[in-house]
A and B are shown apart, each in its own frame.
Chain A
Amino acid sequence: MISLDRLARRRVWNTVAMAGAGLCAAVALVSLLAVLVWLGGKGIPALDLAFFTELPKPVGEPGGGMANAIAGTLIVLGIACAIAVPVGMGAGVYLAEYGRNRLGGVVRFTCDVLTGVPSIAVGIYVYILMVLTSKQFSALAGGVSLAVIMLPIVTRSTEEMLRLVPVSLREAGLALGAPHWRVVTGVVLHTARGGLITGGLVALARVAGETAPLLFTAFNNRYWSASLDQPIATLPVQIFTYAIAPFDDWHRQAWAGALVLVGMVLIISIIARLIGRQAGTGAWR
């Protein structure tokens, strides 16, 4: 009788716990969907071809677009990747392959701390380091500030991915008479490539929407610019500028900009997902 009673109580608890977990999942999903729906509702009406092809118009003049900011975002993200991906992967290889020592521990800890540094602090740091010394806001400074945020993410994800490569494959390479470095370049990096690309894209998606560091470094530009030593327009900063301005037309464009930015991040994330899944199934069983 006691055992039946206990069983009944367990059943009730099971139902309650499952319902609770399901509710939490629903809240998370609904809030995410709400943001997307809201963004779509406000942003889609403001989107037109001009938004993607034209420069911003002066205040009071309707129309215009954010073409320069879209291009600027791509440029700044490109700079950030060009710096953070090679350096971060190199550091990750060091941690995974040679980092079982004090220095490795220090690097690992530093990365974890750096991941938690607020992005505005990174912006101020690069501002002091690059903008004050050159007396010039620049695309390069913007790219560097985003690279600083990406770097620890790329480093740690690279390390994790390399550690997932089975010992049996490393030993297979070593047993063939390959030096350690050759096993790393020929077998380990090759086997982990899907995960490495995913890690880089995740870091990219993480910084694509950063605004604070760019305010201090890339600043803004009303015109086309592709030179690295000049201020450059980026979507997040443009959205920020337009959203706090007192003009309805600018607000509409800010919504459109936010929608485009989220769309970019979404595309990056989906690509990362697809590559990650492919690497997970096809290669190693």
Chain B
Amino acid sequence: MSGETMGQEAAAVASLGITASATGNASRAEETAGEAVAGGIAVERLAAWFGRNRILADINLNMPPRSITAIIGPSGCGKSTFIRCLNRLHELVPGARVEGRVWLNGAEIYGPRVDPVQVRRRVGMVFQKPNPFPTMSIFDNVVAGMRFGSRRLSRQETRDVVERSLRQAALWDEVKDRLRAPATSLSGGQQQRLCIARALAVEPEVLLLDEPASALDPLSTLKIEELLAQIKMSYAIVIVTHNMQQAARVSEQTAFFLNGELVEQGPTQELFTRPRDRRTEDYITGRFG
């Protein structure tokens, strides 16, 4: 057991691009970890606290690459906290704490020598309320992540990244003639797609979305759902949503959270048509929450 743990940590260190002391074990360990999670992002016995309040307990969930995982559940069930654990944002709140393991493509992101900044470069996030940087133009918002990461790109490369990201976010045609306009001049739905473009520009492996459409009108929501379907072949996508129709429409896999516990998970079709747990059935049929 302890040998395996050590090996996994070495893998974590190695695959996050940090020199490991036990590099000899890395390749074997990577195989072991690889078997366990098969890419994407996976959590094992995850628990999270705010001070003495336990928000999440004993979550085990595998979110594979090239597919969308929907997290559903009533308000306050820990959905948002859960995905904030996946990019180590939760721990930034004073008094917040995480236990358990999170594997990113086979590497432990809470390992002892892992830099949270490196993790966040590989796990992008889109928030509930559109939050473009208000002092920056549309163009500068898209490249903000690369500038913060001090990645040096030529002018042409930068322009290519902006176009590619905005196209992926289905925003290019609407803004291509005014890339220098302030980001705040866009509508709410456009701002949210700009935030998606900004997250995609740094080429993450995982994209987390925290109720990305809850503040938007139906048309903007539809656009975001369409773009998620387009880009899911390149990322592991995790979407928190209040809207069960949305979960049913976009996701391959759904997980139902209640009071900080993962009640049920499974293929979306199955979970919505033949829920195994009574509480899941009550929730999806609208009997509570």
Check A172 against B148 for contact (C-beta < 8 Å): no
Alpha-carbon gap, A172 to B117, bound state (A): 13
Alpha-carbon gap, A130 to B235, bound state (A): 64
Check A171 against B148 for contact (C-beta < 8 Å): no
> CB of A10 within 8 A of chain B?
no
Alpha-carbon gap, A111 to B262, bound state (A): 50
Interface residues of A (CB under 8 A from B): 100, 166, 168-169, 171-179, 182-183, 186-187, 190-191, 193, 282-285
Alpha-carbon gap, A205 to B89, bound state (A): 41
Alpha-carbon gap, A191 to B135, bound state (A): 6
Kindly report which residue of chain B lies nearest to residue A177, judged by CB atoms: B121
Give min CB distance, B168 to chain A, whole Å.
Answer: 16
> Which residues of the other chain, A, contact B136 by a CB distance below 8 angstroms?
190
Alpha-carbon gap, A27 to B47, bound state (A): 62
Q: Contact size class for B?
A: 20 to 34
Alpha-carbon gap, A100 to B184, bound state (A): 32
> Which residues of the other chain, B, contact A173 by a CB distance below 8 angstroms?
133, 144, 148
Give min CB distance, B71 to chain A, whole Å.
Answer: 17
Give min CB distance, A200 to chain B, whole Å.
Answer: 18
> Which residues of the other chain, A, contact B118 by a CB distance below 8 angstroms?
177
> Which residues of the other chain, A, contact B234 by a CB distance below 8 angstroms?
none
Check B184 against A186 for contact (C-beta < 8 Å): no
> Which residues of the other chain, A, contact B94 by a CB distance below 8 angstroms?
100
> Which residues of the other chain, B, contact A193 by a CB distance below 8 angstroms?
135
> CB of B79 within 8 A of chain A?
no
> CB of B37 within 8 A of chain A?
no
Check B89 against A174 for contact (C-beta < 8 Å): yes
Alpha-carbon gap, A191 to B89, bound state (A): 21
Check B184 against A176 for contact (C-beta < 8 Å): no
Give min CB distance, A179 to chain B, whole Å.
Answer: 5
Check A174 against B133 for contact (C-beta < 8 Å): no
Within 8 A of A (CB), among B192-214: 195, 198-199, 202
Check B124 against A285 for contact (C-beta < 8 Å): no
Alpha-carbon gap, A173 to B133, bound state (A): 9
Give min CB distance, A282 to chain B, whole Å.
Answer: 8
Alpha-carbon gap, A176 to B151, bound state (A): 13
Check B89 against A176 for contact (C-beta < 8 Å): no
> CB of B145 within 8 A of chain A?
yes
Check B148 against A183 for contact (C-beta < 8 Å): yes
Give min CB distance, A277 to chain B, whole Å.
Answer: 16
> Which residues of the other chain, B, contact A191 by a CB distance below 8 angstroms?
133-135
Check A168 against B133 for contact (C-beta < 8 Å): no
Alpha-carbon gap, A139 to B150, bound state (A): 42
- Cβ contact of A178, chosen from B117, B127, B132, B135, cutoff 8 A: B117
Check B148 against A175 for contact (C-beta < 8 Å): no
Contacts known (A172-B127, A186-B144); A177 close to B134, Cβ less than 8 A: no
Most chain B CB inside 10 Å of its own CB: which residue of A175, A176, A186, A187: A175
Give min CB distance, A45 to chain B, whole Å.
Answer: 47
> Which residues of the other chain, A, contact B147 by a CB distance below 8 angstroms?
186
Alpha-carbon gap, A169 to B122, bound state (A): 19
Within 8 A of A (CB), among B118-164: 118, 120-122, 124-125, 127, 129, 131-136, 144-145, 147-150
Give min CB distance, B18 to chain A, whole Å.
Answer: 15
